Amino acid sequence: MNKIVKYVIADLLRSRTVMVYAAALLVLSLSVFSIEDNADKGVVSLLNIILFVVPLVSIIFSTVYLYNSAEFIELLVSQPLKRRTIWLSIFTGLAGAVALAFLIGVGIPVILYAFTPSGIILLLCGMLLSVVFVSVALWAAVRIRDKAKGIGLSILLWLYFALLFDALVLFILFQFADYPIEKGMVAVSMLNPIDISRILILLQVDLSAMMGYTGAIFRNFFGTGWGMAITTLVLLLWVVVPAWFSTRFFERRDL
Amino acid sequence: MITIQHLSKRFGKLQVLDDVSLTLLGGECVALIGPNGSGKTTLIKAILGMVVPQSGTIFFKGNPIGRQWEYRRDIGYMPQIGRYPENMTIGQVLDMMRDIRKMPEAALDKELFDMFELHNMLDKRMGTLSGGTRQKVSACLAFMFEPEVLVLDEPTAGLDPVATELLKDKILTERSKDKLIVITSHVLSDLDDLVTQVIYMQDGHPLFHKSLDVLKEETGTDKLGKAIAKVMAKDAAGKGVTV
C-alpha cells in the first residue's frame, strides 16, 4: 500500500495549492500571534480562522484532486492491485499532505509563541479536522460522477458544517429554551466535528465561563478524562466512517 | 486466453453491452471496431475489472475474474486518455509502476522506452507534457512488464507518424511471441498490417467475429477499411436503408 502513498504524497507536496495553503497559514498564524500579547488570546483568535479555513481547503482541494485523478485511478485499477488498497492509499496520501501543510503552517508559530496545552490541542484538532474533511470529500467524490456536481456537494457540505449546523443548533436552543436541554446539547455537538474542536479548545483556555450554564455542563463533560477520550473517539469516528463508506462504494463502482 | 460468456451491462437505461460472448486466444491480434458508443471501451473495461457487469462471466485463462485482482498481473493496458498526477515526473510514474508490479530490473522490456527516447525526459513533470508524450509513457507502461495480454485503447491517437510506426513494429514483435493483443481504433488503415481477427461491435453486441483474411475474401477487398464499409453497406441495405 505505501508504495502508492509515497508517490501520491510526493506529487501533492509539490502542488502549488498545498504550498500556498501552508504559506498562507504560516503568515496568518505569525501575524495573529504577533498582534496578541497573550498566547491564549492568540490561540482563540487563530481558532476562529482555522475552524473556517481548514475544513474549506481540505474538502475542496481533495474533491478537485480526486476528480482530476480519475484517469490515474483508472490506470491504477488496471494494475494488479486491490481496489481497497488504491482508495485507502489515495486517502492516506491526501490526508497526509493536507495535515502536513497544516502542521507546517500553524505548527511552527504555535511552537514559537504558544507552546501551551491550548496551543497543542489546537494543532491536534486542526490536523484531525483536516483528515476528517478529506474523508468527507472522498465520500462526496465517490458518490457523484459529475465533477461540477461533486464540487458543489462538497461546498454544500462545508457550508453545512461551518455555518448551517450552528444556525440550526441556535434555533433549537431558542425554541427549547425553557427545557433542560444542556446535556442534549453535548450530544448534538458531537454531530459536527468543527463544533467538537471548538469546544475542546475553548475549554482549554478557560473561556467556558463566558458560555453560561451550558458552558458549565460542557466543562463537566469535556473537562474530564472520560469526556476527552469520548470526544477524541468521536472525532476519529468522523475520519473512519466516511472513509469506510467511500471505500465500500469505490469497491463496487464502475469506472 | 480470454473467454467472455453472455456479458451484459447497463448504465441506467442505456444497454451498453448486450449479451456479448467471445473467445480470444493467444497469438492473435484482435481489432475491436465499431461506431462511437458501441461498447468497445466498456468491453475492455469489463475485461480489466473496471466495470462490473450485471450478468455474464469473463474467464481469464480458465478462471472467472469476478472481483479478483491478481490476474491483472498478466495484462498490460494502454488507456485512451492517459492523464497522470501533474507534479509526478516520468521517472516517478515508471518507478511507481515498477514498485507495484515488483519485477526485477533485468526482466523489464525497455524497448519502447529506449525507442521513444524517454530517458532524456525522466525529470519532466507529467503536467507539462504534450498529449503525444503522455501516450508514449502509457505505451511504455503497457509493454514494460512483458504481459501475456495487451489491451490497447486507441493506441495511435495523438502519436506522431514516427512513434506510430515504432509502436506498430512493437505490436508485431509481441504478436509473434504468442501474446494476445486487443486493439480498438478508428484509424482502420493503422490496423491493416497488425490484426489477424476483427470484431465489429454495434449497439453493444458483436455483429461478427472473423479472421481478417476471411473478411477480405468475403467482401472481395484488400483493405480492412473497404471491407468494413462493404459490410456496413450490406447491413444497411438488409435493413432497407439506402446509403
Which residue has 491536534 as its cell numbers?
Answer: A124
CA distance linking residue B167 with residue B138, whole number of Å: 12
Query: What's residue B239's pLDDT?
Result: 62
Does B60 reach chain A within 8 Å, measured CB to CB?
A: no
Distance in Å, alpha carbon of A147 to nearest chain B alpha carbon:
16
Does A17 reach chain B within 8 Å, measured CB to CB?
A: no
Nearest chain A alpha carbon to B86 = A11
pLDDT band at A192 (very low <50, low <70, confident <90, very high): very high
What's the CA angle centered on B102, arms A88 and B98, to 5 degrees? 80
Does A41 reach chain B within 8 Å, measured CB to CB?
A: no
How many angstroms from the chain centroid is the CA of residue A232? 13
Q: How far is CA B14 from CA A3, A253, B38, B47, in A?
A: 38, 17, 11, 20
| pLDDT tens digit sequence for A79-138 | 999 999 999 999 999 999 999 999 999 999 999 988 888 899 899 999 999 999 999 999
Nearest in space to A141 (alpha carbons), one of A50, A70, A215: A70
Query: What's residue B1's pLDDT?
Result: 85
Query: What's residue B243's pLDDT?
Result: 43
List the pLDDT tens digit at each of the 243 positions of chain B: 899 999 999 988 889 999 999 999 988 999 999 888 888 999 999 999 999 999 999 999 989 988 888 999 999 999 988 889 999 999 999 999 998 988 888 888 888 988 899 888 999 999 899 989 999 999 999 999 999 999 999 998 888 999 999 999 999 999 889 899 999 988 888 888 888 999 999 888 898 898 888 888 888 888 888 888 888 787 777 665 544
Residues A145, A255 contacting (CB under 8 angstroms) = no
CA distance linking residue A194 with residue A129, whole number of Å: 7
Element (H, E) at B33: strand B29-33
Angle between helices A39-68 and A70-77 (to 10 degrees): 60
CA distance linking residue B166 with residue B112, whole number of Å: 8
Residues A198, A46 contacting (CB under 8 angstroms) = no
Nearest chain B alpha carbon to A81 = B69
Distance in Å, alpha carbon of A85 to nearest chain B alpha carbon:
11
Subunit contact B100:A252, Cβ cutoff 8 A: no
CA distance linking residue A75 with residue A67, whole number of Å: 14
Percent of chain A with pLDDT over 70: 96
Percent of chain A with pLDDT over 90: 62
Query: What's residue A20's pLDDT?
Result: 96
Query: What's residue A208's pLDDT?
Result: 60
Query: What's residue B208's pLDDT?
Result: 87
Helix, strand or coil for residue A239? helix
Could you say which residues from 142 to 201 on chain B have a Cβ atom under 8 Å away from some Cβ of chain A?
A: none
Residue A208 is classified by DSSP as G
Please state the φ and ψ torsions of residue A97, each to the nearest 5 degrees.
-65, -45
Grid coordinates representing A61 are 482541494
Element (H, E) at A141: helix A117-143
Subunit contact B79:A78, Cβ cutoff 8 A: yes
pLDDT band at A25 (very low <50, low <70, confident <90, very high): very high
Residues A151, A62 contacting (CB under 8 angstroms) = no
Other C-beta atoms lying within 10 Å of the C-beta of residue A119: 26
| pLDDT tens digit sequence for B52-102 | 999 999 999 989 988 888 999 999 999 988 889 999 999 999 999 998 988
Distance in Å, alpha carbon of A152 to nearest chain B alpha carbon:
23
Subunit contact A255:B87, Cβ cutoff 8 A: no
User: Regarding predicted confidence, which is higher, A217 or B192?
Assistant: B192
Grid coordinates representing A73 are 485511478
User: Regarding predicted confidence, which is higher, B110 or A222?
Assistant: B110
What is the complex's ipTM, to 2 decimals?
0.88
pLDDT band at A217 (very low <50, low <70, confident <90, very high): confident
Nearest chain A alpha carbon to B66 = A252
Dihedral (Cα; A125, A126, A128, A134), 10-degree rounding: 150
Residue A249 reports pLDDT greater than 80:
yes
Q: How far is CA B180 from CA A83, A175, B71, B139, in A?
A: 25, 71, 14, 16
Query: What residues form DSSP beta bridges with B211?
Result: B197
pLDDT band at A165 (very low <50, low <70, confident <90, very high): very high
Query: What's residue B185's pLDDT?
Result: 86
User: Regarding predicted confidence, which is higher, A255 or A51?
Assistant: A51
Gyration radius of chain B's alpha carbons: 18
How many angstroms from the chain centroid is the CA of residue B124? 27
Query: What's residue B240's pLDDT?
Result: 55
User: Regarding predicted confidence, which is higher, A222 or A7?
Assistant: A7
Residues B26, B33 contacting (CB under 8 angstroms) = no
Range of A36-40, A162-166, B222-226 with top mean pLDDT: A162-166
